[in-house]
Amino acid sequence: MSASVSPLRHILRLVQETRGSLRLEELAERAGVAPDEAASMVDYWVARGVLTREEVGGGCPAAGCGGCALKTSCAPSGRAGGGGIAPVLYAIRPARPADGGAGQRVG
């Protein structure tokens, strides 16, 4: 990351350049911030309408926790351990302008 680019703008540029193909952890690593910081930065750009967040999947598999990759760290309510929240998968992408252009460019 260039010294003249803030982490907030760096997160935005990474999402724009990769068209949202990075996992949050990868995005955070490339921007040099913690995953929770990256999530907050994404939330900022979503609130401003520059990025969009779309739920693309989530919840628990019908077969239960046995086949889930998060089975050791997730304990949704009603399952062994209970009280947790089932994971949800989101896609974060650059927002499309109303005029159908190539996308809003910030910074």
The 10s digit of each residue's pLDDT in 37-60 is: 999 999 999 999 999 888 766 666
| Pairing of β 88-94 and β 51-58 | antiparallel
Specify the pLDDT at position 59: 64
**Residue ranges with strand state E in the chain:** 51-58, 88-94
Pick the CATH number of 7-94 from 1.25.40, 1.10.3470, 2.60.40, 1.10.10: 1.10.10
Tokens of 51: 């990025």
Residue ranges, the chain, pLDDT below 50: 1, 77, 79-83, 99-107
Tokens of 29: 């690593």
